[in-house]
Amino acid sequence: MRTLSIKLRVTLWYVLLMLVLIALVIGIMLASNESATLEGIEARLRSVVEENMDEVEYDHGKVDIDEDFAFNMDGVASAVYSDDQGLLAGGLPAAFDPPLAFEDGAFRVANAEGQRWGVYDRVVTSKKHRDLWVRGVTRMDAFASTSGTVLQVALIALPLWLLLAAIGGYIIAGRSFRPVEDIRQAADAIAGGHDLSRRIDLGEGSDEIHRLGETLNRMLERLEASFEVERQFTADASHELRTPTAVILSQCEYALERDRTPETQRESLEAIRQQATRMSRLIAQLLAFARMERGSGAFAPEETDISELTTFVCEDYAETSPDGAALIRAIPDGITACVDRTLYARALSNLIDNALRHGGPPISVTLSRADSAAILTVRDEGPGIDPSQLSLIWNRFYRVDAARTHDAYGHTGLGLAIVRQIMQMHGGTAEAASQPGQGSAFTLRFPVKKSRALS
C-alpha cells in the first residue's frame, strides 16, 4: 500500500467506500421492492378471487357459473373446483394439476416448474350441497421482472458510475497534488545545483499546498541569507589572515638575506612576532566565535553574584595592565543574574579592552539593577564613535578605522561581535551610545527573574 501514490490511495479509498454504500442501497431497495411486490400480488389475487366467488352458485342443484366470472384477468388465472379437487370450470397451469390442498383465505407462494407462483383460495359454502372452491393463481413474474430490472440497471450503472468517480477523483487528486511535485522538483534543483536563490513558484492560490510553498520560500530566504553571512565570514577571515601571513613571509625573506645585520634581523623578528601574536589572537577569537555560534561550546548559565564577578574582572585589569589601574568602579554589592561566568567575563573584558585601546580615560565600569535586568555599562571619554558607524561596529571584522587599528594590539574586529553573540545567548541586549569627541558608553542588559525581595 505504501508504494502506491497518495492520489491512488485516496481514489481507492473513496471508490471502496462508494462501492459499499451502493451495495447497501441496492440491497435495501431490493428488500423493500420484494415486500411491496408481494403485497401487490396478494391484493390483486384477493380482489380477482373474491369477485369471482360472487359469480359461483348452485342453481337447482347444479353449479352455475355466471358469465362475468373472469377466468383470466390481470394475469390471474382462476378455476372452480369441487371440494374433492375435481376441476369444474376454468384451468390453471399444469403445475397445479393435481392442485395444492385448498386453504380458505390464505395467500401462499408456491414453487413449481422453476417458477414462483402466488396462490389464493376461497370456499363457496352451501347448506344443501357440497362446498365449491375458487382458486386464483398468478406468476410472480411481475416481482421477478421489477427486481430483475433494478438489478440489471444497477449492475450496468454501478461499474460505470464507479469508473467515472474513480477517473474524476484521480484527475482531481492529481491536479491538487501537482504543486507538491513542483515543490519536489524545485527542492531537487536546489539540492543538485546548490542554488539557494531559486524559489518555488506555485502561482496564485491560498490552499494548504500554496501556504506550504510560501513557508518553504521563506525558509529558503533565511537559509540563503545565513549562507551569505557564512560565506562573507569565511572570506573576511581568510582576508584577515592573509595580511599577517604576507608580512611574516616578507620579513622572513628580508631577514634571511645575506648582508643583514643582527640589528635588522632583530627588527624583522620583532615584526614577525607582532604579526604572529595578531594571528594567534584572531584564530583564538574565530574559534571562540564559531563555537558560540554553533552552540558547541559549553554554555552553562547559573545564578551568579555578578557584583563579585565584575569586581574580580576589574581588579584583574588593575593588576595586569598599567591603564587598568585607572578603572573607576561603581558596583553595588549583591546584584545577581543567571549568566555563564566565563562568557560574562569575556564580554566585560572585550568592552574594557576597547575602552582602553579605542577610547580614553577616565574609564568607568558601572553595574546596576533595574526592574527586570542587570545593567552593566562601560564608559570612556575617548574620541567616541561617529553616529553613522554605531550600528556597524557590531558586525564581524568591522573596524571604524581599519588602517589605524591594524596595530600591535592585534585588532580583529571581532570583539563586539562576540559581545553581541554572548548577549543573544543570554537573551539580553547590547547597545552603544557615543558622541564624537565625548567618549562612548556600551551597555549590556542581562535579564533577571523578578524576585520578591527585590521587586
Q: Which of 186, 282, 292, 355 binds ligand ADP (CB under 6 A)?
A: 355
CB atoms within 10 A of CB 67: 5
Full DSSP string of 148-194: HHHHHHHHHHHHHHHHHHHHHHHHHHHHHHHHHHHHHHHHHHHHHHT
Phi, psi for residue 94 in degrees, rounded to 5: -55, -30
Among 440, 444, 446, 448, binds ligand ADP (CB under 6 A): 440
Q: Min. distance of Cβ 289 from ligand ADP in angstroms?
A: 11
Q: Report, in Å, the least distance between residue 285 CB and ligand ADP.
A: 8
x/- binding map, residues 98-137, to ligand ADP, per CB under 6 A? ----------------------------------------
Kindly provide the b/e burial profile for residues 91-128, where b requires at least 16 CB atoms within 10 angstroms of the residue's own CB: ebeeebeebbebeeeebeeeeeeeeebbbbbbebeeee
Binding segment (CB under 6 A) for ligand ADP, from list 195-203, 263-271, 286-294, 350-358? 350-358
Report the C-alpha gap between 144 and 41 in whole angstroms.
12
Interface size with ligand ADP, residues (CB under 6 A): 22
N- to C-terminal Cα separation, the chain? 63
CA distances (Å), origin 60, targets 69, 89, 128, 414: 19, 18, 10, 137
The span of 182-190, 257-265, 324-332, 395-403 binding ligand ADP (CB under 6 A) equals 395-403
Judged by beta carbon, residue 428 or residue 439, the one nearer ligand ADP is 439
Beta-bridged to residue 388, according to DSSP, are none
Task: Give the binding range for ligand ADP (CB under 6 A) out of 37-45, 190-198, 229-237, 380-388.
Answer: 380-388
- CB closer to ligand ADP out of 122 and 420: 420
Name the residue number minimizing CB distance to ligand ADP.
415
State in angstroms the smallest separation of the CB of 338 from ligand ADP: 25
Find the length of the chain.
455
- 354 in contact with ligand ADP (CB under 6 A): yes
Shortest distance (Å) from residue 276 CB to ligand ADP? 17
Please report whether residue 382 would count as binding ligand ADP according to CB under 6 A.
Answer: yes
Distance CA 294, CA 421 (A): 11
Binding of ligand ADP at residue 380 (CB under 6 A)?
Answer: yes
Of residues 353, 375, 364, 382, the one with CA closest to residue 428: 375
For the segment 396-435, give every residue that binds ligand ADP (CB under 6 A): 398-401, 405, 411-417
**Among 346, 358, 426, 445, contact with ligand ADP (rule: CB under 6 A):** 358
**Looking up cell 555560534, which residue turns up?**
293
Q: Grid coordinates 567616541 are at which residue?
A: 384
Binding mask 292-331 for ligand ADP (x = CB under 6 A): ----------------------------------------
Determine contact, residues 132/63, Cβ cutoff 8 Å: yes
Q: Which stretch binds ligand ADP (CB under 6 A): 211-219, 237-245, 291-299, 348-356?
A: 348-356
Name, in order, each residue with C-beta under 8 angstroms of 355's C-beta and a sequence gap of 6 or more. Answer: 363, 378, 379, 380, 382, 440, 442
| Closest CB to ligand ADP among residues 179, 324 | 324
**DSSP H or E stretch at residue 50:** helix 6-53
Q: Which is nearer to ligand ADP, 136 or 382 (CB)?
A: 382
Closer of 56 and 416 to ligand ADP (Cβ)? 416
Q: Taking the complex as a whole, how short is the minimal distance between the CB of residue 325 and ligand ADP, in angstroms?
A: 18
Asked if 338 interacts with ligand ADP (CB under 6 A), we say no
Please state the φ and ψ torsions of residue 256, each to the nearest 5 degrees.
-80, -10
Write out the DSSP string of 261-321: -HHHHHHHHHHHHHHHHHHHHHHHHHHHHHHHHHT-S----EEEEHHHHHHHHHHHHHHH-
Instruction: Classify residue 21 by burial, with Cβ atoms within 10 Å: 0-12, 13-18, 19+.
Output: exposed
* Residue of 288, 348, 393, 444 interacting with ligand ADP (CB under 6 A): 393
Residue number, 107 or 442, with CB nearest to ligand ADP: 442
| Min separation Cβ 281 and ligand ADP, Å | 9
Q: How far is the CB of 237 from ligand ADP (least distance, A)?
A: 13
Binding residues (CB under 6 A) for ligand ADP: these are 350, 354-355, 358-359, 380, 382, 385, 393, 398-401, 405, 411-417, 440
